[in-house]
């Protein structure tokens, strides 16, 4: 049985491993300074170990993007994933302004309430920018950083700050509609790899949550992490940079920028891999992460 806070579309999932993962999702009423009401925050925890790993998903995504990576990391470490504020299946409240600042506050309160020990932050795409921002704000909390095809040097177009009704709604709705189009198209294709269909289903499931449009519009209008680039060089933690060389969303040159800027960093490029190594090459990605952590004696 699935928990009742998930959209009804969850019942369309057929993959046993994904179903088991979704059934393991937990929810906490998290007290924060952002609202007088607790924020119902979705997360997952598996495994055990001395230094916890915390996985941060990308833009317009959820902890489901770690459905393949998290179990692999959890074989050797206590591993967490959380739906960031305004994203995934975490509750959205109308009185909250969704921005990198409120994401950071919510993330700290989540860490303080449930983990409260130094962590290894793993951030994918936008989650990488979140990890950098969090590390610079709370350096005592983070022992090391792992960036997977991270946002930071390539940012949202400036025009997104100036969207106004009804174009703001239409711009965000386009994100949802492209998944619907892809799902409808793939459902009609014969001999389609079921992994592709599953990836689309997982990518769009959270978009059915209440106030999804409102939170996305709020966040997009802030410009996201557009002011992060000049701060990246201040990261002093041991950092692993993992990058799929076939990324069609972020330029490959960003890898060199990250490596030059972060003094204590290691860069590994993944061949035949795109923007989401955690989905495309979970075994290889987990191996690189675990080897890095062993090297750092975490």
139, 236 in Cβ contact below 8 A?
A: yes
Residue 50 has what pLDDT?
Answer: 86
pLDDT at 171: 65
Q: Cα–Cα distance between 173 and 217 in angstroms, integer?
A: 10
Angle, CA 231 vertex, CA 225 and CA 237 arms, to 5°: 110
Give the pLDDT of the chain (298 residues) as one tens digit per residue: 567 899 998 998 989 999 999 999 999 999 999 999 999 999 999 999 889 999 999 999 999 999 999 999 999 999 999 999 999 999 999 999 999 999 999 999 999 999 999 999 999 999 999 999 999 999 999 999 999 999 999 865 444 554 555 555 666 666 666 666 655 666 666 666 678 888 888 999 999 999 999 999 899 888 899 999 999 999 999 999 999 999 999 999 999 999 999 999 999 999 999 999 999 999 999 999 999 999 988 7
Pair 125, 150: CB distance under 8 Å: yes
Domains recognised in the chain with CATH numbers: 8-295 (3.40.50.1820)
Strand-pairing partners, residue 9, are none
CB atoms within 10 A of CB 181: 11
Q: What is the pLDDT of residue 199?
A: 87
Distance of CA 211 to the CA centre of its chain: 19
């Amino acid at each position: 049985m699935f928990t009742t806070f998930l959209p009804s579309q969850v019942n369309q999932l057929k993959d046993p491993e994904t179903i088991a993962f979704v059934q393991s999702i937990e929810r906490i009423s998290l007290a924060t300074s952002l609202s007088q009401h607790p924020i119902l925050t979705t997360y997952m925890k598996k495994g055990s170990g001395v230094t916890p790993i915390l996985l941060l998903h990308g833009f317009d995504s959820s902890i489901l993007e770690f459905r393949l990576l998290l179990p692999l990391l959890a074989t050797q470490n206590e591993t967490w994933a959380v739906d960031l504020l305004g994203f995934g299946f975490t509750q959205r409240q109308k009185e909250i302004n969704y921005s990198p600042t409120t994401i950071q506050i919510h993330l700290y309160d989540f860490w303080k309430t449930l983990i409260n020990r130094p962590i290894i932050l793993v951030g994918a795409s936008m989650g990488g920018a979140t990890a950098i921002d969090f590390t610079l704000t709370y350096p005592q909390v983070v022992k090391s950083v792992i960036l997977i095809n991270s946002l930071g040097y390539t940012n949202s177009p400036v025009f997104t700050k100036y969207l106004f009704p009804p174009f703001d709604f239409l711009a965000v709705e386009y994100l949802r509609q492209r998944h619907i189009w892809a799902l409808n198209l793939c459902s009609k294709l014969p001999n389609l790899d079921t992994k592709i269909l599953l990836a689309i289903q997982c990518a769009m499931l959270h978009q059915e949550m209440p106030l999804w449009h409102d939170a996305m519009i709020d966040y997009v209008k802030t410009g996201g992490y557009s002011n992060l680039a000049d701060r990246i060089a201040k990261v002093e933690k041991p950092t692993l940079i993992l990058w799929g060389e076939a990324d069609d969303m972020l330029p490959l040159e960003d890898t060199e920028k990250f490596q030059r800027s972060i003094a204590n960093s290691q860069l590994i490029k993944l061949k035949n891999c795109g923007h989401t190594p955690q989905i495309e090459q979970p075994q290889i990605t987990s191996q690189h992460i675990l080897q890095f952590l062993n090297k750092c004696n975490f």
